[in-house]
Structure 1
Amino acid sequence: MSKHKHTPLQLGSAALLTTLALSSTNALANDETTQCEETNCSQEEMELIRIHGVRNSIYKVDHSGDIRRQAELFDIPQTITVLTKDQIDESGRSDLKEILSSQAGVTLGTGENGNAFGDRYIIRGHEARSDVFVDGLRDPGMSTRESFSAEQIEITKGPSSTFAGRGSSGGAVNSITKKASTAYDFGRVDASLGTDDYNRVVVDYNKPLTENFAARINLLTASEDAPNRDGIERSRDGVLLSGLYDNTNDLRVFSDFYYLESEDTPDLGSYFNSATRKPVEDIPVYAQEEDFLDSEIMAFTVRTEYDINENFKFYNATRYGETENGYISTGARGNVRAEEDTLAPNVASIGLSTHQGWQEIEYFATQFNFLWDVTTGEITHDLVLGIEFTDEQVTNGTYDITYNNPTNCTTAGRGGVSGSYCLLDENSEVYANPSKIIGRTFEQGNSDSLFDASTISAYVMDTAKISEKWQVFFGLRIDSIDYSNDVVSRGNPIDYAYKDDFYNGHLGLVYSVAEHGNIYATYATATNINGGESDVGASCGYGGLCGDPDQASVADPELVENIELGTKWEFLDERLFLAATWFQMTKSDVMESVGDDYSTLGTLNTGKNRVDGIEFALNGNVTETLSVQISASTMESEVLESYTAENVGLALSNFAEDSFYLQLRYQPTEKFAFGGDFTYKSEMFGGQPDSAAGYNTDLGDYSIVVPSYNVVNLFANYNATENMTLRLNLGNIADKEYWTAAYRSGAFMYLGDGRTVRATLTYEF
């Protein structure tokens, strides 16, 4: 069993210091080591040089950036995938959504109206859109998230309630933020240009101000058009300002201010053709010129580390944040003009629809931790004792929209025959000026959901070394939640409110079968509140609440139990990490909407489902010149119990049974490196989150099918000088059209990006 431990000092700079003891992958590392030996550089300073050099890509880290994880990743009895900044940069991805969706075991979800905006992740078949964290604190609400400020991204698979609290049914995502350091003076600029008017500039500069103070600034500005989708635009502007006070003895105080503004033209992609049983290919761009998807995030965080004595440490993280989101987007769906249509009766067309909503979020979180290294008899304990308070206030609403242009077709719908907006004319050709068909004007309307969740939590975690062979992890957490949600459902105001206490635990055993190999077994639980998804109000089909408030207040929480058996190994002087695991996750008391598709009767805890799977991971340096990251999973999902008997035996929605990700980097010379990545996802089926995929009994098949897909990306690095590196990224080199997720009716299916070519110049100073 590995004997390495990390201290709060090392993790105070989070992922900046998590690569200690890793060797570089090219000759420049030797040059830097020689220089540091001549100038008496500390080991910490040597590693920081390697971390920041684009000439040295790191694909393996030893520790989590979460200070509460006392063991090395190698000794943690759970599956955790860590993506380093180097991997992310070389992959050419930047938005968190596209980074995560490439990974094995993770897929995307869709939404409609109140929950269509922002990023949605599904981990091991379970909704995780509210299980996103930054430096161990929950990042609530729906928004667009970027990676420019992240040093590494950690994906925890399986229930994580001991660390994360409520939710985390299938896992959690934790971004580790770049932090200031007094150990180095370093700057870096990454400037990129590419096809589709792509441009991106990222500045990262750390400056020691005195022996005890340091500052760091990260800046981002970026914009692009979606490949092959003229008129679909994306822009990002962000800043991370970080400060550090370090008395060099026992106290360190980190602070940072984060801001991100995203402005996109949303694209809901294609739709499912029920006649051909396939998504419609090469669908024209139909977004209207007034469409937008805007997100503004602001957060201020303070972290304090204090070494009370050699064995007793204190750590606090406190954050206040505000987020504003809003969108109006256009949907497209196949339709047929009505017989009453005067222009082209009974002719097939594509109908346009409006989806919209806004959200305002205000949240506060503070977390107090005591880290205690203590020995009882022959057993050594790394204890974490913590308390946490969070308050999340989320206001959701809609826009008041005026449709200024006359309708251009007549269709039959639920309300009978009426005027509509169609993309295709009587000759099945796209109308001229398709972005001006509807002509909306709008203003922000009233709110329809006031979500408030205050939580007081207490937890204890112990990593106990029983002997040279045995290690035990034990965690127990209680979350006391005070929940309210004042909603307007179909014009009727309803007040939901309840209080509940959740108890969750995690027990893991690790047995060392060799110096660099172990096997482990783990049992963990997670609990989710009814109505826990803050973005959906009374849409209980997507995790909100509806029906009778008294019934909702006494409903049971959803419970997830996970059993996992795995093994972890390190090879080649600990440069290469391998893990394999089998798991079984059972979710009981699943909320199911009772009644019609949009649930008029409320929610009942009548569902139960199970996901079984095998997951494999390999990352690190195979040789001094070859680096690799592999994640692969094969899973099966099944609904075990349901209010709707026909759902029993069906698979979960937006669930890929097989997925695979491979990223390689080969550096044959000091100046040149090249590589690429490959993503594969098997077919998925549309449906409501965390419940059965839609099934057509007449066809004897699933109603909405997302075809399997694979995508290949390539990159090449050229180290022009000691300070300058050039990188070329080729995305989706085959220019394949593929779809990443489907709405439950098939009304829209998200499109993956087409081929891209991007060049990046990195200058270090």
Structure 2
Amino acid sequence: MSTYTSTGAPQPSANLSSSAVGLALASCATVSLAAENRQDEQPPAAPSAIELGSTDVRSTHVEGYKVDQASSPKFTAPLRDTPKSVTVITEDLIKERGASSLKDVLRTTPGITLGAGEGGTPVGDRPFIRGYEASTDIMIDGVRDVGRNAHEAFNLERVEIIKGPGSAYTGRGATGGSINLVSKVAQTEDFTAGSLTLGTDQLWRTTLDVNRFVAEQGMAFRLNAMKHEADTPGREDVDVKRWGIAPTVTFGLHTPTRATFSYYHLETDDMSDLGHPVSNITGKPVKVDRDNFYGLVDRDFSKTSADIASIVLEHDFSEALSLRNTTRGGRTLLDYVMTRPSFGNTNTPAQLNAAINRELNGEVIRDGRARNSVTKTLVNQTDIFGEFFTGGLQHSYSAGLEFSRETIDQKDRYSVRAGSNADLESPNPHDPFPPVTRGTGSVSETKQDVRAAYVFDTLKLHEQWDLNLGLRYDDYYVTNGSASNSSELLNYQVGLVFKPLPNGSIYLTYATSSNPAGETVGQAGGADGAAGGAAVNNLDPEKNRSLELGTKWDVLNEQLSLTAALFRIEKTDGRSQDPVTGDVTLSGDSRVDGFELGATGRISDAWQIWAGYTYLDPTTRKYRSGGVDYAGNQMKFIAPESFSLWTTYALDDKWTIGGGANYMDERYLDDANTRKLESYWRYDAMLGYKVNRNLDLQLNILNLADETIYDASHVGVFANVAPGRSAELTANFRF
């Protein structure tokens, strides 16, 4: 759905998955298919051959679901020959499913579960990939976006999810994987496009996408804009409002030297909603009407903003050597006052008894939570990539340097007291409340400085054998008040790829990542375990490693990608508490074993499919917190099984029908495994009609069965309620 940049570099992704049996079946079955459809194929074009005019913009829309190359030059081979699981959600898929935010996209992606925040842990996009949190591993066009914020879909070409430890690619973190959001950029054509969506629950949304190309000056300009307002389906008194604008201009198209200037602005103004309290009797969300809202509409709010400016300079020295430099400055704001519904503290037997009695009496405590934080980033990243030969060996390589400073200022702006207790069955969101007063005004400032160098190389050892190598060094320094931590991180990956036929590969890869102390300070709270995983102290980094065996096949004339992967991820030297002193030590250990299966692309010209299944066995092997030993328990927030299917079929040149199903297994909400969210199925449907070449209509019905779904929680105190059934009619135009 989008091909990256100026040099025949990167490419999108093939889906992922596998089991030991699935791996063999995928390999054997697709080998026979491949034999029928064998086609001569060019060896993977490294970031080398540059075809000026078709590759000098960073992203080009590709029809359908299947993509072949990731957007980053760090991927030095096509995704089929990349020894790593990568899932790509294209713009077409995002639009067809009626998704308007990153959360909507991730909610229907197998292998990903969602977490929640409530003050200590900021509210915002909080995904868990293959068992480990990735909220600080979200990239925008390959550059880390550390502000815990909400991400919109109006300016996205695609979403790339890179699975498994990946510090070699992204730097610190990326324990279970990372997410790269690929932005829209100027194109070499003129068009005016957009959409108008009207729906149930007061939904109205409009987008605009205008592109102009001035060929004689080698310049292109693109503007994307969005306005969105709606009530939340199935939730009383909960609404969302947001708007955004994203202009970009590129100079020097069709020349060896290009410059792209872009800016992104997004504002949101929502009603804070932490859902329903979790019962201390059943360990599950209380059984009440889904639309019960325990917040205070005359007090609560949640506002965010993001301003990101980028300059990308590119130069092609030759068809085999290119240079790119990216400079980015950003500022994000997270500002909210919210109500946390609960039955009270349960830390002691007396508190637990009081909480149970309160629940039996139908009383919900309305605790107040507030946050005001500003995150500023300044990043400069330089990449040089291309290909060369040594002793008859072909190298497709990428090397780079990165310098960044991230500053998180958390201000004590509000003093919020608990409101009057709410009635469990009939809460009144207009109850009076204690006034919100000014806080102390003190600011907790966290600074993170990074200097990094990295190199990647795909060596073509033989027509059927590739060796994929990656190495990254990070000099990481963080300060918070008088505390500081300095860590040197060295991470790598080694992958061997065997291509039995031109349209398929089998790979084995080993990769590492590191989580330095202080990595999430200012962004996480006690929900993240011992020391919040965020203490700035002299602890060495946590270490993570993975082993993955997988296979990828392009079948049916290479229109359909089938993938499978069997993997193990282990966190060694994890943070834990000493049972005697209570000090935080590196004595923890956790492991996730799993497999994934995926299918992406076209079964025929009329029939498209995007499907995936993930199985995870997330086990806490060694971990202590608060004097309790949790060894042997299942890791919290993680669903052992998840499945997603989306498929469309063009009945003729006018009508298209589509539908999808999404399954999420039950998840524990606490380390003790005493609280959980139940499993669920969600079904969606779509009907499209092409009026003419300039206009098409699309009807989506989301959560068709109107299932009550709890999709996230924060340590089992409350559970977020996902949207109920809704209908949306969208008119898409393009001239």
Question: TM tier, shorter chain?
Answer: 0.7 to 0.9
CA–CA separation in structure 2 for the residues paired with 1:300 and 1:10: 25
The equivalent of 1:20 in structure 2 is none
The equivalent of 2:722 in structure 1 is 752
Paired residues for 1:555-704 under 5 Å: 555-593=539-577, 601-643=582-624, 646-687=629-670, 693-694=671-672, 702-704=673-675
Counterpart AA for 1:462: D
CA apart distance, 1:546: 9.1
Whether the 8 Å CA contact 1:511–1:518 is kept in 2: the answer is yes
The structure 1 residue matched to 2:339, chosen from 330, 334, 341, is 330
Counterpart AA for 1:503: L
CA apart distance, 1:154: 0.2
The CA deviation string for residues 125-164 of structure 1, in whole angstroms up to 9 with x for no partner, is 1011100001100011211111111101000110111110
CA–CA separation in structure 1 for the residues paired with 2:398 and 2:429: 59
CA apart distance, 1:542: 5.1
The structure 2 residue matched to 1:119, chosen from 98, 110, 125, is 125
CA–CA separation in structure 1 for the residues paired with 2:111 and 2:425: 40
Counterpart AA for 1:9: T
Whether the 8 Å CA contact 2:12–2:88 is kept in 1: the answer is no
Structure 1, 218-227 or 643-652: larger mean CA deviation: 643-652
Whether the 8 Å CA contact 1:654–1:686 is kept in 2: the answer is yes
CA apart distance, 1:603: 2.5
- Is the partner of 2:511 in helix, strand or coil? strand
- Is the partner of 2:268 in helix, strand or coil? strand
Paired residues for 1:494-533 under 5 Å: 495-533=482-520
CA apart distance, 1:448: 5.0
Greater relative contact order, per chain length (Cα 8 Å cut-off, separation 6+): 2
- Is the partner of 2:604 in helix, strand or coil? coil
The equivalent of 1:410 in structure 2 is none
The equivalent of 1:317 in structure 2 is 326
- Is the partner of 2:409 in helix, strand or coil? strand
Given the superposition, is the C-alpha separation of residues 442 and 593 from structure 1 closer, same or farther in structure 2, using an over 3 Å criterion? farther
CA apart distance, 1:764: 0.7
1:735 equivalent in alignment to 2:735: no
CA apart distance, 1:57: 4.9
The equivalent of 1:421 in structure 2 is 420
CA–CA separation in structure 1 for the residues paired with 2:313 and 2:388: 22
The CA deviation string for residues 279-304 of structure 1, in whole angstroms up to 9 with x for no partner, is 11325112212211111000101111
1:8 equivalent in alignment to 2:6: yes
The CA deviation string for residues 3-26 of structure 1, in whole angstroms up to 9 with x for no partner, is xx98733559x879xxxxxxxxxx
CA apart distance, 1:421: 1.6
Whether the 8 Å CA contact 2:365–2:420 is kept in 1: the answer is yes
CA apart distance, 1:499: 1.4
CA apart distance, 1:345: 13
CA–CA separation in structure 1 for the residues paired with 2:564 and 2:388: 32
CA–CA separation in structure 2 for the residues paired with 1:447 and 1:541: 24
Given the superposition, is the C-alpha separation of residues 429 and 537 from structure 1 closer, same or farther in structure 2, using an over 3 Å criterion? closer
- Is the partner of 1:146 in helix, strand or coil? coil
Whether the 8 Å CA contact 1:15–1:151 is kept in 2: the answer is no
The CA deviation string for residues 229-274 of structure 1, in whole angstroms up to 9 with x for no partner, is 1211111100110000125231111110000001111111112213
CA apart distance, 1:376: 1.1
CA apart distance, 1:117: 1.4
CA–CA separation in structure 1 for the residues paired with 2:530 and 2:140: 23
RMSD (Å) for aligned C-alpha atoms? 2.9
CA–CA separation in structure 1 for the residues paired with 2:138 and 2:420: 38
CA apart distance, 1:335: 6.3
Q: Which runs of 5+ in 2 are unaligned?
A: 14-50
The equivalent of 1:472 in structure 2 is 467
CA–CA separation in structure 2 for the residues paired with 1:526 and 1:577: 28
| Identity between Structure 1 and Structure 2 (%) | 29
CA apart distance, 1:443: 3.9
- Is the partner of 1:423 in helix, strand or coil? strand
Counterpart AA for 2:662: T
- Is the partner of 2:441 in helix, strand or coil? strand
1:307 equivalent in alignment to 2:278: no
Given the superposition, is the C-alpha separation of residues 47 and 230 from structure 1 closer, same or farther in structure 2, using an over 3 Å criterion? farther
The equivalent of 2:27 in structure 1 is none
The structure 2 residue matched to 1:204, chosen from 209, 229, 237, is 209
The equivalent of 2:20 in structure 1 is none
Given the superposition, is the C-alpha separation of residues 387 and 667 from structure 1 closer, same or farther in structure 2, using an over 3 Å criterion? same
Paired residues for 1:59-208 under 5 Å: 59-181=65-187, 183-208=188-213
The equivalent of 1:265 in structure 2 is 271
- Is the partner of 2:707 in helix, strand or coil? coil
The equivalent of 1:279 in structure 2 is 285
- Is the partner of 2:692 in helix, strand or coil? coil
Given the superposition, is the C-alpha separation of residues 439 and 735 from structure 1 closer, same or farther in structure 2, using an over 3 Å criterion? farther
CA apart distance, 1:326: 1.0
Whether the 8 Å CA contact 1:685–1:742 is kept in 2: the answer is no
CA apart distance, 1:541: 4.2
Whether the 8 Å CA contact 2:517–2:533 is kept in 1: the answer is no
Whether the 8 Å CA contact 1:109–1:122 is kept in 2: the answer is yes
Counterpart AA for 2:655: F
Given the superposition, is the C-alpha separation of residues 231 and 445 from structure 1 closer, same or farther in structure 2, using an over 3 Å criterion? farther
Paired residues for 1:357-506 under 5 Å: 357-401=371-415, 421-424=420-423, 430=426, 433-443=428-438, 445-447=440-442, 449-486=444-481, 495-506=482-493
CA–CA separation in structure 2 for the residues paired with 1:422 and 1:399: 24
CA–CA separation in structure 1 for the residues paired with 2:535 and 2:713: 30
The structure 1 residue matched to 2:228, chosen from 212, 222, 226, is 222
- Is the partner of 2:394 in helix, strand or coil? strand
The structure 2 residue matched to 1:707, chosen from 652, 662, 678, is 678
Whether the 8 Å CA contact 2:590–2:621 is kept in 1: the answer is yes
CA apart distance, 1:544: 5.9
CA apart distance, 1:763: 1.1
Q: Which runs of 5+ in 1 are unaligned?
A: 17-41, 408-419, 487-494, 688-692, 695-701
CA–CA separation in structure 1 for the residues paired with 2:507 and 2:689: 42
Whether the 8 Å CA contact 1:531–1:543 is kept in 2: the answer is no
The equivalent of 2:33 in structure 1 is none
Whether the 8 Å CA contact 1:232–1:287 is kept in 2: the answer is no
The CA deviation string for residues 573-620 of structure 1, in whole angstroms up to 9 with x for no partner, is 110001100000010111235689xxx955221210100000111100
CA apart distance, 1:69: 1.4
Whether the 8 Å CA contact 2:518–2:535 is kept in 1: the answer is no
CA–CA separation in structure 2 for the residues paired with 1:301 and 1:444: 35
Whether the 8 Å CA contact 1:360–1:394 is kept in 2: the answer is yes
CA–CA separation in structure 2 for the residues paired with 1:640 and 1:260: 42
CA apart distance, 1:473: 0.6
CA–CA separation in structure 2 for the residues paired with 1:126 and 1:237: 31
CA apart distance, 1:68: 2.5
CA–CA separation in structure 1 for the residues paired with 2:121 and 2:441: 16
